[in-house]
Amino acid sequence: MTIKVVAIDDHAAALAGVSHVLGDTPDCEVVAMVHTVDEALDRICRRIPTDIDVALLDLRLTGGSDPFNNARSLMTAGAHVLVYSSLESPFLVRRALKAGVSGVVDKSADTDTLVTAIREAAEGKTVANANWAGIIDSDPLLNAVQLSPRQREVLELYAIGESAKRVASITGLSAETVQDYLSRIRTKYALAGRPIQSKIDLYRRAQEDGFLPGPRDM
């Protein structure tokens, strides 16, 4: 079986490197090299959905798109997603892992590591390599407080400085509902032993749990 791969990276050199590596791998074929997830989805949708086995996804793409949304879109289109990126940003890595990607491979990894990861991802396996283990061990917040999509939206807007009234206007929720969400968010953090006493605390919790970028992610 030939593993069909689409590579998504906004650096031409990185795409050329993937093409070179997989060009020498008999059971892998790069069917598309693109700069955006939209381009990848366009290529995937032109084919039988299951014909694309693995999408190699860089975490940082032009326009600052969210790795969570990128990975979910590709997975919905039928591809197993393998992050192939520099892994210096805990926020971006955490976002991708929360989306349920098959695994992560650092761009500094050797050829054998990348090819093995692609094969495992194509089989629907979790790629439990050294990169994956190191991230899990070093980032206890991967299993942090869980918020619903709406709660997260309210938290992000409120934490970056929007008033509750403005959050209600942006989200289309009532002011009472926004206040209820904020109350529920505070309760969840309190139950997790990480109480919120001020808006600054709320901002810090949002950074800690990967809902907003932290200082290392800029």
pLDDT tens per residue across span 100-118: 899 999 998 899 999 999 9
Looking at 126, 141, 156, the residue that finishes a domain is: 141
* C-alpha to C-alpha distance for 215 and 218, rounded to whole angstroms: 6
- Within this chain, do residues 60 and 98 fall inside the same structural domain, yes or no? yes
Examine the domain organization and report whether 127 and 196 are in the same domain. no
Per-residue confidence at 38, pLDDT binned at 50, 70, 90?
very high
By residue range, what is the domain housing residue 189? 146-217
Q: Are residues 95 and 163 in the same domain?
A: no
- Same domain membership, residue 152 and residue 127: no
The per-residue pLDDT for range 128-174, each reduced to its tens digit, is 777 766 665 555 555 567 788 899 899 999 998 899 999 999 999 99
Instruction: Tell me the CB-side half-sphere exposure of residue 134, using CA atoms within 13 A.
Output: 10
Same domain, yes or no: 60 and 36: yes
| 33 and 133 assigned to the same domain | yes
pTM over 0.85: no
Same domain, 109 and 203: no
List the one residue out of 75, 79, 77, 58 whose CA is nearest residue 3.
79
Same-domain check for residues 65 and 93 = yes
Instruction: Answer yes or no: do 8 and 107 share one domain.
Output: yes
Domain count across the chain? 2
Q: Please check whether residue 25 is in contact with residue 51, taking contact to mean a CB–CB distance below 8 angstroms.
A: no
